[in-house]
Amino acid sequence: MSRPKSRGNGQGTAFKRGQTWTACVVVGWKLPDDPSKPKVPVRRTKGGFKSKKDAINYCPKLLIKGNEIRHMTMQELWNEWSEMYEPRIVPSTMGCYKYAYNHFSPLHGTYMDQISSGDLQACMDACKAGHRTHQNMKCVAGLLWGYAFDHNVVNKDITDNLYIGKGSSIQRDPIDAHEVEAIHGSIGKYRYAEYIYCLCYLGFRPGEMLELKKDMLHCAMVETEKEKQTPIWYFVNGKKTPAGKDRVVIVPDQILEIVLDRMFVPGTDFVFPMY
| pLDDT(41) > 70 | yes
- Average pLDDT value over all residues in the chain: 84
Q: Which residue has the higher pLDDT, 57 or 125?
A: 125
pTM over 0.75: no
End-to-end CA distance of the chain: 76
Q: What is the band of 243 on the pLDDT scale with cuts at 50, 70, 90?
A: low
pLDDT of residue 124: 93
Q: What is the band of 209 on the pLDDT scale with cuts at 50, 70, 90?
A: confident
- Which pLDDT tens digit goes with each residue over 16-40? 988 899 999 887 777 677 767 787 8
**Longest Cα–Cα distance in the chain:** 113
* 2-26 mean pLDDT: 77
Percentage of residues in the chain having pLDDT higher than 90? 42
Q: What is the band of 143 on the pLDDT scale with cuts at 50, 70, 90?
A: very high
* 82-104 mean pLDDT: 90
CA distances (Å), 207 to each of 19, 161, 195, in order?
42, 33, 12
Helix ranges restricted to H, 37-161 = 52-63, 74-85, 91-102, 117-126, 131-150
Beta-ladder partners of 23? 14, 46
* 55-62 mean pLDDT: 82
Q: Which residue has the higher pLDDT, 127 or 31?
A: 127
- Which pLDDT tens digit goes with each residue over 225-239? 666 778 889 998 755
Q: What is the band of 77 on the pLDDT scale with cuts at 50, 70, 90?
A: very high
Q: What is the band of 67 on the pLDDT scale with cuts at 50, 70, 90?
A: low
* 102-127 mean pLDDT: 94
Cα–Cα distance for residue pair 57/8, rounded to 1 Å: 14
pLDDT of residue 126: 94
Q: Closest Cα to residue 24, out of 65, 52, 50?
A: 52
For 26-53, the DSSP string reads EEEEE--SSTTSPPEEEEEEEEEESSHH
pLDDT of residue 136: 93
| pLDDT(5) > 60 | no
Q: What is the band of 223 on the pLDDT scale with cuts at 50, 70, 90?
A: confident
- According to the per-residue pLDDT averaged within each range, which of 3-17, 47-61, 62-76 is highest? 47-61
